[in-house]
Amino acid sequence: MKLKKYLTLTRAGIIESLQFRLGTLVIIAGNLLYLIVVYFLWKAIYASAGTDIVNGMTFSDTLIYLVLATALFNFMEMYIVWEMGRAIQSGKITLDLLKPMEYRKHLFWSYSGSFVTQFFFTFLPTFLIVAAVTHGAIRFGWNLLFFVISVVMAVSINYSIDFLVGTICLYTESIWGINIMKQVIVMLLSGATIPIAFFPEPLKTIAYYLPFQSIYNAPLSILLDGNPQLQTVLTTLGIQLFWCAAMMVLGKLFWKVSLRQITVNGG
Amino acid sequence: MKRKGFGFYLRIYGKILAQDLKSKMSYRADFIISTIGMIFTNIAGFLSFWILFRNFPSIQGWGYYEMLFLYGFSLVSLTPVQCLFDNNWSLRIHVYSGDFIKYCFRPINLFFYYQSEVFDIKGLGQLAFGIGTIAYSWSQLGLGVTPLMLLKLLVFLITASLIMIALQNAAAATCFWIQNSFYVLDLVTRFKDYAKYPIAIFSPVFRFIFTFVMPIAFIAYYPSIVILRPEEVPLLSWLSPLFGVLFFWGSYKFWMYGALKYSGTGS
Amino acid sequence: MSNIIEIKNITKEFKVLNRREGLKGSIKDLFSRDYKIVRAVDNISMTIQQGEIVGYLGPNGAGKSTTIKMMTGILEPTSGEILVGGNVPYENRTKNAQEIGVVFGQRSQLWWALPLVESFKILKDIYGVSDKDYEDMLALYQSLVDIEPLLHKPVRQMSLGQRTLSDILAAFLHNPKIVFLDEPTIGLDVSMKAKIRTLIHALNQEKHTTVILTTHDMGDVDALCRRIVIIDKGKMLYDNDIEHLKNFFGSYRTLKIRIDGSLKQLAEEIDRKLSDFKVSADDEWISILVDEEKATVMEVLSRLQQSYKIRDMQLEEISTEEVIKKIYEEGVQ
């Protein structure tokens, strides 16, 4: 069974991440802290704005958006660039390349275990609490299904971007520099820290043409859209699908080309 | 044997620093990419700040330039921890691999010896950015320049730095007890992003927590209020230099305790 | 000669976590954990004199590094006393550190990105070595090995052998009273091993430095140590001269003979005749482990010659390696 070898990696990942119970607690504490800060900050902003709706979003819209964006972030952030960079620098990569599985897939499935634990430990509780607290702000209908599809694609796009950037580490020793640039760009332009609706006009347009908004902005806008049109939802999913495929192919190609370059030059 | 005073340590640090800089320069590509990464981080940070606050004349009585001052203040006070204590980030890697023990056999202070190994020059870019922001908001606020004010600025910047350093030391030292202490360190690093907001936006309960339990209000708010609003300085602001020294000392003791406890057990 | 290290009845216990296995176990571990006490070092005593080279041996996990950590002051014994150069190491770690040097075979303590000479200069300052002592030491190094090409090479560009060599030189730089060497020749090729051994020996002779050597390579022991200490499972098994160790077991020698015919059958036959000795056979040889206190090899040989036509023979001394192996496996009676 082909799937079985992938699931073995998932299982190992779950066991590994459960070893770190303190890590889990700290993640939860960190998120709570962040949410508190976000709550008061935006409350203050809305209180000073004088209107209930800023840039088309109410206070509770914004809050739900940011809370779930954080939950999604914790769920998707796998520090792939660091992992790849270290593997490349230490030479461990040669061992990984010898495994009877494509490196890109091996890495992804090794991390899939933490997707599972993170989903149950952070995303699901957060989601349920938000749904309960804001009663009614999140509609439970077809949008949930579209949201799940959208998140799956977001995970894939996020991973592909990480893998693409991680590949750059084959050329330079600067893991920190590469990673921080990626992180900064993704966090800002994906709408993870500030909803894209708040961006000034030209920046907003630019953000919509880039793949990053498909990671946080797309799934969350599908979930929170109070008056969803099938066409809008399908357009959003379509754009995601496009980026999903494009980034995957790009990542694969770049890796292939880079690896050849490196093996020829003897790294 | 008691000749190892401040001068001795300063001389050693100077030597190691000079050598470290020399060798950093030999990794030119890394240096350039990291510097660009640092600039990116600062620009993105500023951009987020600008996107958030450009729409609102003031937040809970805090004007745009006062917020900007807080932002600049937090950047500058984070520079020492970035430049001088960056090796804290590698601590858990040294500890898990067992390499940490090699630091334990020198006849000088272990904490000093460990931290002296890395000087992170990238932090200087942040320093420049922060100073620029402070200067700009300072002139926009029309605060005027007197030697006393500059002295206050300096003292309270050092205070804020000490508190951030203390938080990071303590967080890094958790790796002597727990696996995956990365999350703790990451959490503390995220603190600094919250430090730049005026504590006035929080409810009394959280004001108390952020002052006494997780003292992030000391990283920018309490120290900078001395300069921004001299007529309404709370007692806590005047006490903050004392807290700074105390926290730093406490974190140092904690770090050393962990280091000696650990180095005995790991092999 | 003066005692540089005195250890009296030291014991060290650790609390370790029992991890459970499998997915179920990990989930259980989330909620409750159980610990057990492990005694890593159990009532060990020894004294070491200035200028000795002592081989400190034992299988993996025997408690060697725990003992060394206690001697270097980074670990406090659960009970017992240690004096190193008259100091209690864990009570004054930094003062003790001034008097010792430490090398780990696989972990360089030098500044990774710096040329060796820059590391030396920093160490010179850290240990407060005078200019003259420093110059003298470098001159001594130059006379022992050709360090000139190494001095200006960054440590990260060195081969493992060069790095180990550099680490050893760095450990002796401040002329410490004791140097602890932990597997200094691990992973090195034969000629580099020989070079390192010669260097250690020369430095010990020249500076009268006490050397405590832990290793799994009996070549190191044979080349350097007069005295060996063996521990296993935290307990002291042996502490004496290496010669004595060989005598201890070394009244045994292995006589190998070749005779025409079925070696297996012949071996059984001889075994019956020489009931005192262990006889075995492989494809080529019949081996007889002769206890020379009962009969000399010559006597055994002449007895055999009466019954068999011996076509070829070999005599093997028992090697240190075999003795150590025997001790690890069987202990000292």
Stretch A256-265: mean pLDDT, rounded? Answer: 73
For residue C22, list chain A residues with Cβ-Cβ distance below 8 A.
15
B267 contact C CB<8A: yes
C241 with C170, same domain: the answer is yes
* ipTM given for this complex: 0.78
- Which residue from B minimizes the CA distance to A21? B179
Range of the domain at C86: 3-8+44-246
CB-facing half-sphere around the CA of B61: CA atoms within 13 A: 6
Q: Going by C-beta distance under 8 Å and a sequence separation of 6 or more, which residues neighbour residue C202?
A: C144
Rounded to whole angstroms, how far apart are CA atoms B187 and B207? 19
Stretch B6-24: mean pLDDT, rounded? Answer: 82
Task: Give the pLDDT confidence score for residue B246 in this predicted structure.
Answer: 93
Question: To 5 degrees, how large is the angle CA C22–CA C25–CA C31?
Answer: 150
pLDDT in tens, C233-279: 888 888 888 777 766 665 777 888 888 888 888 888 888 887 778 78
CB contact under 8 Å between B264 and C75, yes or no, is yes
B52 contact A CB<8A: yes
C90 with C72, same domain: the answer is yes
C209 with C296, same domain: the answer is no
- Which residue from A minimizes the CA distance to B40? A181
Under a CB-based contact definition with an 8 Å cutoff, are residues B187 and B171 in contact?
yes
Q: Which of C209, C231, C246 is the last residue of a domain?
A: C246
- List subunits contacting chain C, requiring 3 or more Cβ pairs under 8 Å: A, B
B109 closest CA partner among C95, A43, C9, C324: C95
C81 with C209, same domain: the answer is yes
Rg of chain C taking only CA atoms, in angstroms: 25
Rounded to whole angstroms, how far apart are CA atoms B264 and B249? 23
CB contact under 8 Å between B107 and C127, yes or no, is yes
Q: Which of B1, B106, B110, B112 to mutate to test the interface with C (most CBs of C within 10 A)?
A: B106
Judge whether C266 lies within some domain.
Answer: yes
C76 with C104, same domain: the answer is yes
Residue B3's pLDDT band, with cuts at 50, 70 and 90, is low
* Alpha-carbon distances of A175 from A82, B23, B86, B161, rounded to whole Å: 7, 17, 15, 26
C18 contact A CB<8A: no
Judge whether C28 lies within some domain.
Answer: no
pLDDT in tens, C170-199: 999 999 999 999 888 888 889 999 999 999
Q: Going by C-beta distance under 8 Å and a sequence separation of 6 or more, which residues neighbour residue A193?
A: A66, A69, A187, B48
For residue A34, list chain B residues with Cβ-Cβ distance below 8 A.
190, 194
CB contact under 8 Å between C154 and B23, yes or no, is yes
Which of A40, A41, A181 comes nearest B37 by C-beta?
A: A181
Extract the tokens encoding A31: 């998120």
- Weakest mean pLDDT among B84-88, B205-209, C241-245: C241-245
Stretch C309-329: mean pLDDT, rounded? Answer: 78
For residue B26, list chain C residues with Cβ-Cβ distance below 8 A.
113
Which of B108, B117, B264 comes nearest C74 by C-beta?
A: B264
Task: Give the pLDDT confidence score for residue A229 in this predicted structure.
Answer: 82
Length of chain B: 267
Q: Show which of residues 28-87 on chain A sit within 8 Å of chain B, judged by CB atoms.
A: 29-30, 33-34, 36-37, 40-41, 43-45, 47-49, 54
Place of tokens 């020793």: A173
Under a CB-based contact definition with an 8 Å cutoff, are residues A155 and A76 in contact?
yes
Rounded to whole angstroms, how far apart are CA atoms C115 and C157? 9
For residue A15, list chain C residues with Cβ-Cβ distance below 8 A.
22-23, 26
- List subunits contacting chain B, requiring 3 or more Cβ pairs under 8 Å: A, C
Dihedral angle over CA of C92, C93, C96, C102, nearest 10: 170
Extract the tokens encoding C304: 């055999």
SS3 state at B3: coil
Instruction: State CA B76 to chain mean position distance.
Output: 8
Q: What is the count of structural domains for chain A?
A: 1
C169 with C190, same domain: the answer is yes
Give the global pTM.
0.76
- Environment class of A98 (CB within 10 Å of its CB; exposed 0-12, middle 13-18, buried 19+): exposed
For chains B and C, CB pairs below 8 A equal: 71
Q: Which of C90, C126, C130, C180 to mutate to test the interface with B (most CBs of B within 10 A)?
A: C126
Q: What is the count of structural domains for chain C?
A: 2
The packing angle between helices B182-195 and B88-97, to 10°, is 170
What does the DSSP 8-state code read for residue C277? S
Rounded to whole angstroms, how far apart are CA atoms C315 and C288? 10
Which of C74, C101, C109 comes nearest B263 by C-beta?
A: C74
A92 contact C CB<8A: no
**CATH assignment of the domain containing C146:** 3.40.50.300
Largest CA distance in chain C: 76
For residue A180, list chain B residues with Cβ-Cβ distance below 8 A.
34, 37-38, 40-41
For residue B66, list chain A residues with Cβ-Cβ distance below 8 A.
none
A177 closest CA partner among B36, B32, B34, B90: B34
pLDDT in tens, C13-35: 887 767 666 667 766 666 666 77
A102 contact B CB<8A: no
| Mean pLDDT (chain C, rounded) | 85
CB contact under 8 Å between B30 and A174, yes or no, is yes
A18 contact C CB<8A: yes
Highest mean pLDDT of the ranges A259-263, B17-21, C16-20, C60-64: C60-64
Q: Which of B96, B105, B116, B119 to mutate to test the interface with C (most CBs of C within 10 A)?
A: B105
C59 with C169, same domain: the answer is yes
Rounded to whole angstroms, how far apart are CA atoms A42 and C39? 57
Q: Which of A16, A27, A28, A40 to mutate to test the interface with B (most CBs of B within 10 A)?
A: A40
Residue B1's pLDDT band, with cuts at 50, 70 and 90, is very low
- Weakest mean pLDDT among A206-220, B99-113, C162-176, C284-298: C284-298
Extract the tokens encoding A47: 């209180």
C160 contact A CB<8A: no
C242 with C259, same domain: the answer is no
CB contact under 8 Å between C69 and B263, yes or no, is yes
C82 with C188, same domain: the answer is yes
C22 contact A CB<8A: yes
CB contact under 8 Å between C75 and B263, yes or no, is yes
What does the DSSP 8-state code read for residue C118? H
Task: Give the pLDDT confidence score for residue A267 in this predicted structure.
Answer: 42
Task: Give the pLDDT confidence score for residue A15 in this predicted structure.
Answer: 67
Residue A265's pLDDT band, with cuts at 50, 70 and 90, is very low
Extract the tokens encoding B91: 């601590």
Range of the domain at A69: 2-265
Rounded to whole angstroms, how far apart are CA atoms A110 and A101? 11
Q: Which of C190, C223, C246 is the last residue of a domain?
A: C246
pLDDT in tens, A34-92: 788 888 888 888 888 778 888 888 888 888 888 888 888 878 888 888 888 888 877 78
Task: Give the pLDDT confidence score for residue B63 in this predicted structure.
Answer: 86
Instruction: Please say whether the dihedral angle defined by the alpha carbons of residues C40, B172, A39 and A117, taken in this order, is positive or negative.
Output: negative
Rg of chain B taking only CA atoms, in angstroms: 20
- Which residue from C minimizes the CA distance to A24? C30
pLDDT in tens, C2-13: 889 999 999 988
Q: Show which of residues 26-65 on chain C sit within 8 Å of chain B, judged by CB atoms.
A: 65
For residue C19, list chain A residues with Cβ-Cβ distance below 8 A.
19
Place of tokens 């159990």: C42
For residue C98, list chain B residues with Cβ-Cβ distance below 8 A.
1, 107
C56 with C69, same domain: the answer is yes
B254 closest CA partner among B180, B137, B166: B166
Rounded to the nearest angstrom, the minimum Cα separation between A208 and chain C is: 43
Q: Is C234 left (phi over 0), alpha (psi -120 to 50) or beta?
A: left
Residue B96's pLDDT band, with cuts at 50, 70 and 90, is confident
pLDDT at A163 over 90: yes
Rounded to whole angstroms, how far apart are CA atoms C229 and C236? 8
For residue A23, list chain B residues with Cβ-Cβ distance below 8 A.
178-180, 182-183
pLDDT at C122 over 50: yes
C113 contact A CB<8A: no
CB contact under 8 Å between C27 and A18, yes or no, is yes
CB contact under 8 Å between A18 and C19, yes or no, is no
**CATH assignment of the domain containing C293:** 3.30.70.980
CB contact under 8 Å between C125 and B106, yes or no, is no
For residue A177, list chain B residues with Cβ-Cβ distance below 8 A.
30, 33-38
Rounded to whole angstroms, how far apart are CA atoms B246 and B166? 9
CB contact under 8 Å between C23 and A19, yes or no, is no
pLDDT in tens, B155-192: 999 999 999 899 999 999 988 887 667 778 888 887 77
Judge whether C269 lies within some domain.
Answer: yes
CB-facing half-sphere around the CA of C246: CA atoms within 13 A: 13
B263 contact C CB<8A: yes
For residue B52, list chain A residues with Cβ-Cβ distance below 8 A.
45, 194, 198
- Which residue from C minimizes the CA distance to A21? C30
Judge whether C99 lies within some domain.
Answer: yes
pLDDT in tens, A172-227: 877 888 898 999 999 899 988 888 888 888 888 999 999 999 999 999 988 887 77
B14 contact C CB<8A: no
- List subunits contacting chain A, requiring 3 or more Cβ pairs under 8 Å: B, C
